[in-house]
Amino acid sequence: MFFRSCVTAIVLSFGLHAQENALIEARALCFQYVGDVKSVFAPGEKKDEMVEVPLFTSAMTEPFKMRATDSAGVFSLPNEDPEVPYKALPGIKLPNSSKVLFLFLPSPTPEKSPYRIVALADDTRNFPYGAVRLMNLHSKAVRFHMGEHNGARAIGLNPGKSRLVDEINRLDDFNRYPVLAEYASDKGFAGFYNNAWRSVEGKRDLVIVYPDPGSGLPRLNHYEDAEPADLGPPPGEQ
């Protein structure tokens, strides 16, 4: 499960491919509620089935099965027209993976759609445990100073880009490393986030910079995704 560990800002577009009408395992994460929209609907496993997907802002949903295409709207909202009970949200390009993480961000045009949805590969081949995935969804370039990646070796991301950092090796005695994030302002790079993160075996970190819906300045969300625990067989099946 993803846990949100900190907040502070921004815009990206991922275009990958998925098989038409494929059954995928999905999870969802909402950055901030827009109005009263706290859930969406998705095509279920059965024909003509629509399942309600709750949107959480502090943790991922549990995995759920859904059918999706790479060209049609995946999620929908209830519609007042009884003949057309659901209104599709804008279509989403899907990654080439049977496991997908859907991010729900406040839309820059809420009058058209409450959320902007980004789909990411959620399998461990594309996003292994121990790694840090950095994403820049803002319109400004950003750079990260983290662990040994600092100063002239800082990690820079242009708008709409992402990078997977395999691991951080320069840690303190508590397995932490400092993190400073900066964005390209009119007067040069300016810091907007400063913290320390943990490096723990069996955990992966998702870091997303996106625009604050009010100010447009960068905000940064950091989520820690722990490897599912092996609880063994249920009682009576050992």
Q: Digits of tens for pLDDT over the chain (238 positions)? A: 554 544 333 333 333 343 457 889 999 999 999 999 999 999 998 888 999 999 999 888 999 999 887 655 589 999 888 888 899 898 888 888 889 999 999 988 888 899 999 999 999 999 999 999 999 999 999 999 999 999 999 999 999 999 999 989 999 999 999 999 999 999 999 999 999 999 988 899 999 999 988 899 999 999 998 887 654 566 665 5
| 3-state SS class at 221 | strand
| 3-state SS class at 49 | coil
Radius of gyration of the chain (CA): 19
| In the chain, domain spans | 2-226
How far is Cα 171 from Cα 191, in angstroms, rounded to an integer?
22
Joined tokens for residue 168 = 């951080």
């989520």: which residue's tokens?
Answer: 223
| 3-state SS class at 231 | coil
